[in-house]
Homo-oligomer: A and B are copies of this chain.
Amino acid sequence: MFEGPIQRLIDELARLPGIGRKSAQRLAFHLLNAEDADAQRLASAIVDMRTQVRLCNRCFNVTGAEECSICRDLRRDPTLVCVVERAQDIVVIEKTQEFRGRYHVLGGALSPIDGIGPGQLRIAELKHRIPNEGVQELIVATNPTIEGDTTAMYLARELKPLGVRVTRLASGLPVGGDLDYADELTLGRALVGRQEI
């Protein structure tokens, strides 16, 4: 146990996910020995993020404004909407530079065990967007997990009647991967989803 202020910082850092007591201690001493401006900037960044970040009114992406920069971008195709579980997923898809539509952040995936039903996700908001924005295709990019798959199936069943096309990201072997290391579920999906060359 260290004295007062340094122990309090170690305790706070150790509450963060993936940071153990040893890492928390190393980080605290790093901050103790860092430039005054560096430590101050980190503290301010935390406070600023909490006060300034809000969710986009349209797609629920994190933003500093009423609507996120993607929804504000007039060059993006409003008829194509990619549905993701979390705001973090948007950045990953944007990096591919293959998608020019808008997004919709559900805020999770259906998981009866965790008590997450359709009411806990932003499905009603998505439903409203379809007629309002003239959406023609929903690309469901939830995770390739049981919860993600269930959510995709639910969305297809609920939203297809509104006249929208619902598609799902392809599942299969990762590029650069090795067949030897593929698990049977992934390999099974790659087989079912095989494409003519």
Q: With CB as the reference atom, state the residue of chain B lying closest to A41.
A: B12
CB pair B42 A5 closer than 8 Å:
no
CB pair B26 A53 closer than 8 Å:
no
CB pair B32 A53 closer than 8 Å:
yes
In whole Å, how far is A134's beta carbon from the nearest beta carbon of chain B?
26
The stretch from A15-23, A73-81, A150-158, A165-173 touching chain B is A15-23
In whole Å, how far is A146's beta carbon from the nearest beta carbon of chain B?
22
CB pair A16 B30 closer than 8 Å:
yes
Q: What is the count of identical protomers in the complex?
A: 2
In whole Å, how far is A130's beta carbon from the nearest beta carbon of chain B?
25
Partner of A47, one of B16, B32, B40, B62: B40
Count residues on chain A whose CB falls below 8 Å from chain B CBs: 51
A-B contact pairs, 25 of them (CB 8 A): A2-B91, A3-B53, A3-B62, A3-B69, A4-B52, A5-B49, A6-B49, A8-B45, A9-B46, A12-B41, A15-B42, A16-B27, A16-B30, A16-B31, A16-B42, A29-B86, A29-B87, A29-B88, A31-B46, A31-B50, A32-B50, A32-B53, A39-B46, A40-B47, A42-B46
* Chain A interfacial positions (CB closer than 8 Å to B): 1-6, 8-9, 11-13, 15-19, 23, 25-32, 36, 38-50, 52-53, 62-65, 68-69, 86-88, 91
